[in-house]
Every structure is written in C-alpha cells, then in structure tokens.
C-alpha cells in the first residue's frame, strides 16, 4: 500500500474506524498523489522567475488560446481553460457547503466534509461505487429506479443490486420493505449499503416527514446493534418539493452524525438544482460521527475521493464550475430558484388535476408523486413498449417505457397547457391498441 494511502487510513481510523472498514479495497488503497501535482502547486506559489511545471501552454504572459474559442466567452482564459483541481475549485466547494447548511437546517451544529466536485452526479455515483463497494457487495434500491444505477454499479463493477417494492398498497413509501432488506444484509454481512433518491427518478416521489422519521429510526436501531450502515443520498432533484407533508431536507442532514456506525454520503449537484444539465457539475459530501478533531478525518476522505477522480477523469470542467460559482454569487440567484420551482410545481399540480378525470381509470393508474421532474402510470392491460412506439409513430408523442406496464412522463419538459392533451393522447393510444387487439381476435 502506498504510504500516502496508509496515512489517510490512519486519519480515518483515528476519527472513526468504522468508516475505514466500510471502504472498498480500492478505497482503502486510494490516495491523492503528490509528485507533479504538488510540485506544480508549490511552483505556482514560489516560482516567480520561470515556472516550467504546468502541463498547459502559455504565451505573452497568459494562457495560450484560440480567439475563436474565447469569442463570446465572458471568462478569462485563466478562469475557464486551465485545469481545475481534482477536488474542484475551492471557492465553489465552500459556496456549495454554505448552501447545504442553508437548505438543510438539521445540519446546524454538525460538521461535514467540504464537497468534492465531480463531473455531474452520474460521475459521483461512479466514484462512490468504486470507493465504497467491492464486487459482490450489495446495494439496496427500490424496484422502480433510475436505470443507470444498474450500468454504473452492477454491469461495470459487479455490485449486486437488491430491490424492494417502492410503494405500499396504501400508496406511501415502503419503509418497512426497505428496512427488511437492510436488516437482512446487516445480519448476513455485518454491513448494509442503501441508496436513497428523493425526489425519486422515475416516480417523482418525495418521502414524507413521518416516513422519514420511521426510516431514520430504523437505520439508527440497526447501527446501535453494532452493524455498519452506509447511507447514500442521491439528491439530484433536491428542492423540487411540491406538497406540504414532504420532507424538505435531504436525509443526509439527519444521518450526518447519527451514529458512529453510520456513514452518510450526499451526492448532489447544480445539474438539476440550477438547471445546468450540460455543465456537469456535481458534488460528494461526507458526514458521520467523528471522535476528536474532525478536520483530519474529513480531509482524508476528501483526498481519497479526489484521488479517485484524479485516476479517472483528472478533474471536472473548470469553465462549468466557474459558471455555477458566478451564478451562485449573483444577487438574482435566490429569486431565480423560486421562479423555476414555481413553474414546475404548477405543472405537477396541473397533472394531478387532469388525472382526477375518471375517464383515465379504465386505462391506467398513476403512481404516487409529489416532487421532482417525473410521474409514472401503471397501464392496466397494454404493454408499455408497444404503446410508446405507437404514440411516437402515430401521434408524435414521446414517453418512456419502463418495464412491461409502466410509463414515465417528464412533466418538467412540457408546458402546463400541454398536460391534458398529453394524457388524452395517451388514453387514445391505449384505445387504439385495444381495438387493434380486438380486430386480430375477430
């Protein structure tokens, strides 16, 4: 093992040895290299005469660049074209951490890591999986989930995904179904890894305060029995809550220092929160109960995470980070957030209003939804893929087929006045396929 990795592991063992035990074999061996990076950083500070360390090109005292690249770009080459640190731009990391405490009041008085910048939340999930999961480990997820989890974790890394039904028959989040798997994994292996995604993709469901209390209490009880729990929150759609009873904070805020046997990892980003999907700016933040000084412990986790990024993509886009940071520092930022939230909430409300029409009941049943970008319907007797293709080819309407009978509707990308026409066409498409089936039988 590299001596730098040994030093980081020692810092983790001093702060919370259970966190060290949760690391994958890759995670335990990860470190942030010195070498060229540290020498370049030292030279940047002290090489006032000539600095021949950086792997970029310079001319005339500045960054070499094409005018065709810089035309129309309201950022200097130094703030857009150079490499960003593998940890991310420090100013952005601090700004995002400040925003986490503002958005999650339950974090008050708690200490968490500085967020590490990733290339979007997809990359953050990949870094989590590599750093904290070995091949053959189990991650607990609902049966309705974002399909890319399977590609990132199961296909690429050999991680087993174990599922529970997301909803109870009454229409709420299936806390007990999830807890049953957590207890079973913890009993069999001494640890459990659970990934929580609220607001959820694809269902658009956000957990209620009551459901959250039950979930938190259940995880805490298992941790108090001596089992290690890794709680990962994919907060991609954080803030898009539309109903009073939903929990308006990330579950990360409640797990961050709940028990020494619980390590919480928050995956989030500007992607959806700030409507900058293509900029690919995500974050990873850690929280747990730490003995003694917290700074060395969290710095060790940050350095391991940055080491994983360094050995993968090197760093996230400098320009993307600068754009997000400048927006967060703008006086209009808060009002912009509120305006876009209200637009999406109005669309979700319109969907609920339209679906009250009993005309749809014979064709499909909506799943519960109260947040985020999406909602899903369960088709009564028509297969989802056949319907998807039919709607696309005959009516020019695009929807997503999930499994055999589920359809996902992204109300985030349609206007409010398109909601009823959309569901009317969905109903018509179902009737078309039913009629076609009857014709074949006759």
- CATH number (domain holding residue 339): 3.90.1150.10
Task: Looking at the structure, tell me whether residues 310 and 348 fall in a common domain.
Answer: no
pLDDT 10s digits, 13-28: 999 999 999 999 999 9
pLDDT at 33: 87
pLDDT at 322: 96
The two tokens of residue 348 are 């979700």
pLDDT 10s digits, 26-72: 999 999 988 766 677 677 778 777 777 778 888 888 888 888 888 88
Which ranges of 77-206 does DSSP label H, i.e. alpha helix?
A: 90-103, 120-132, 148-149, 156-157, 175-189
Greatest Cα-to-Cα distance within the chain, rounded to the nearest angstrom? 89
CA–CA distances in Å: residue 316 to residues 75, 282, 406: 17, 9, 35
Task: Looking at the structure, tell me whether residues 314 and 350 fall in a common domain.
Answer: no
Three-point CA angle 72, 78, 79, nearest 5°: 65
Q: Which domain holds residue 414?
A: 334-441
Task: Looking at the structure, tell me whether residues 374 and 319 fall in a common domain.
Answer: no
Q: Are strands 160-164 and 138-142 parallel, antiparallel or unpaired?
A: parallel
Task: Looking at the structure, tell me whether residues 181 and 318 fall in a common domain.
Answer: yes
Task: Looking at the structure, tell me whether residues 99 and 136 fall in a common domain.
Answer: yes
Task: Looking at the structure, tell me whether residues 237 and 160 fall in a common domain.
Answer: yes
**Beta-strand (E) ranges in 312-439?**
364-366, 374-379, 400-402, 406-410
Task: Looking at the structure, tell me whether residues 368 and 290 fall in a common domain.
Answer: no
Task: Looking at the structure, tell me whether residues 138 and 62 fall in a common domain.
Answer: no
The residue out of 329, 364, 379 marking a domain boundary is 329
pLDDT at 441: 78
The two tokens of residue 395 are 């009516």
Q: Taking a C-beta distance cutoff of 8 angstroms, is the pair 131, 308 a contact?
A: yes
Report the chain's terminal Cα–Cα distance, integer Å: 72
Q: Which residues contact 46 (CB under 8 A, 6 or more apart)?
A: none
pLDDT at 51: 76
Q: Which residues pair with 194 in a beta bridge?
A: 140, 231
Q: Taking a C-beta distance cutoff of 8 angstroms, is the pair 164, 174 a contact?
A: yes
The two tokens of residue 6 are 């040994």
Residue for token pair 């094409």: 66
The two tokens of residue 378 are 């369960």
Q: Taking a C-beta distance cutoff of 8 angstroms, is the pair 98, 108 a contact?
A: no
Q: Which of 241, 319, 311 is nearest to 276 (CA)?
A: 319
Task: Looking at the structure, tell me whether residues 270 and 250 fall in a common domain.
Answer: yes
Q: Are strands 138-142 and 364-366 parallel, antiparallel or unpaired?
A: unpaired
**Beta-strand (E) ranges in 25-102?**
58-59, 62-63
Cis peptide before 202 (omega within 30 of 0): yes
Burial 1-15 (b: 16+ CB within 10 A, else e): eeebbeebbebbebb
Q: Which of 209, 235, 240, 173 is nearest to 411 (CA)?
A: 240
Task: Looking at the structure, tell me whether residues 267 and 228 fall in a common domain.
Answer: yes
Whole-model pTM over 0.85 = yes
Phi/psi of residue 354, each to 5°? -65, -40
Q: What CATH number does residue 319 fall under?
A: 3.40.640.10
Average pLDDT of every residue of the chain: 95
Q: Which residues pair with 376 in a beta bridge?
A: 408
Task: Looking at the structure, tell me whether residues 13 and 45 fall in a common domain.
Answer: no
Tell me the three state secondary structure of residue 293: coil
Q: Are strands 282-287 and 262-269 parallel, antiparallel or unpaired?
A: antiparallel
pLDDT at 38: 67
pLDDT at 37: 66
CA 375, CA 243: separation in Å to the nearest integer?
A: 14
pLDDT at 417: 96
Q: Which residues pair with 371 in a beta bridge?
A: 241
The residue out of 289, 313, 329 marking a domain boundary is 329
22's enclosing H/E stretch is helix 17-22
Q: Taking a C-beta distance cutoff of 8 angstroms, is the pair 230, 192 a contact?
A: yes
Length of the chain: 442
Counted domains in the chain: 3
Task: Looking at the structure, tell me whether residues 309 and 197 fall in a common domain.
Answer: yes
CA–CA distances in Å: residue 74 to residues 271, 340, 416: 21, 24, 34
CA 304, CA 298: separation in Å to the nearest integer?
A: 10
Q: Which residues pair with 264 in a beta bridge?
A: 231, 287
The residue out of 310, 329, 348 marking a domain boundary is 329
Can you give the pLDDT of all 442 residues of the chain as single tens digits?
Answer: 899 999 999 999 999 999 999 999 999 999 998 876 667 767 777 877 777 777 888 888 888 888 888 888 899 999 999 999 999 999 999 999 999 999 999 999 999 999 999 999 999 999 999 999 999 999 999 999 999 999 999 999 999 999 999 999 999 999 999 999 999 999 999 999 999 999 999 999 999 999 999 999 999 999 999 999 999 999 999 999 999 999 999 999 999 999 999 999 999 999 999 999 999 999 999 999 999 999 999 999 999 999 999 999 999 999 999 999 999 999 999 999 999 999 999 999 999 999 999 999 999 999 999 999 999 999 999 999 999 999 999 999 999 999 899 999 999 999 999 999 999 999 999 999 999 988 887 7
The two tokens of residue 41 are 């950083």
Q: Counting runs of H as helices and runs of E as strands, what totals does the chain give?
A: 18, 13
């Amino acid at each position: 093992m590299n001596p730098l990795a040994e030093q980081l592991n020692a810092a983790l063992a001093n702060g919370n040895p259970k966190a060290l035990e949760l690391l994958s074999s890759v995670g335990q061996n990860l470190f942030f290299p010195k070498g060229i990076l540290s020498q370049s950083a030292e030279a940047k500070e002290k090489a006032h005469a000539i600095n021949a360390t950086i792997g970029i090109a310079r001319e005339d005292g500045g960054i070499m660049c094409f005018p065709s690249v810089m035309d129309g770009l309201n950022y200097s080459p130094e703030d857009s074209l150079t490499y960003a640190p593998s940890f991310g731009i420090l100013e952005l990391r601090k700004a995002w951490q400040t925003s986490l405490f503002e958005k999650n009041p339950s974090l008050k008085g708690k200490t968490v890591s500085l967020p590490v910048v990733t290339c979007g939340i997809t990359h953050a999930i990949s870094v989590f999986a590599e750093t904290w999961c070995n091949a053959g480990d189990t991650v607990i997820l609902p049966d309705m989930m974002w399909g890319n989890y399977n590609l990132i974790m199961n296909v690429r890394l050999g991680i087993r995904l174990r599922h529970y039904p997301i909803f109870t028959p009454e229409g709420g989040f299936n806390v007990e179904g999830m807890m049953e798997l957590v207890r079973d994994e913890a009993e069999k292996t001494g640890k459990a890894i659970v990934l929580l995604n609220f607001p959820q993709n694809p269902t658009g469901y956000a957990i209620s305060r009551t459901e959250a209390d039950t979930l938190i209490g259940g995880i805490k009880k298992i941790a108090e029995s001596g089992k290690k729990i890794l709680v990962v929150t994919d907060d991609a759609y954080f803030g898009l809550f539309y109903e009073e009873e939903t929990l308006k904070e990330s579950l990360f805020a409640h797990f961050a220092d709940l028990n020494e046997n619980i390590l919480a990892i928050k995956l989030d980003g500007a992607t959806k929160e700030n409507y900058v999907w293509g900029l690919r700016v995500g974050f990873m933040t850690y929280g747990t109960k730490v003995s003694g000084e917290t700074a060395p412990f969290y710095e060790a986790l940050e350095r391991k995470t940055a080491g994983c990024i360094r050995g993968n993509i090197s760093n996230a886009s400098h320009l993307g980070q600068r754009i997000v940071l400048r927006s967060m520092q703008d006086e209009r930022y808060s009002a912009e957030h509120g305006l876009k939230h209200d637009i999406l909430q109005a669309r979700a409300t319109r969907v609920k209003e339209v679906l009250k029409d009993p005309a749809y009941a014979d064709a499909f049943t909506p799943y519960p939804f109260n947040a985020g970008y999406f909602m899903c319907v369960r088709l009564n007797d028509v297969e989802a893929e056949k319907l998807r293709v039919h709607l696309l080819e005959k009516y020019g309407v695009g929807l997503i087929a999930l499994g055999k009978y589920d359809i996902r509707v992204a109300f985030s990308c349609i206007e409010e006045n398109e909601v009823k026409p959309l569901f009317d066409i969905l109903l018509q498409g179902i009737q078309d396929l039913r009629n076609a089936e009857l014709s074949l039988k006759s």
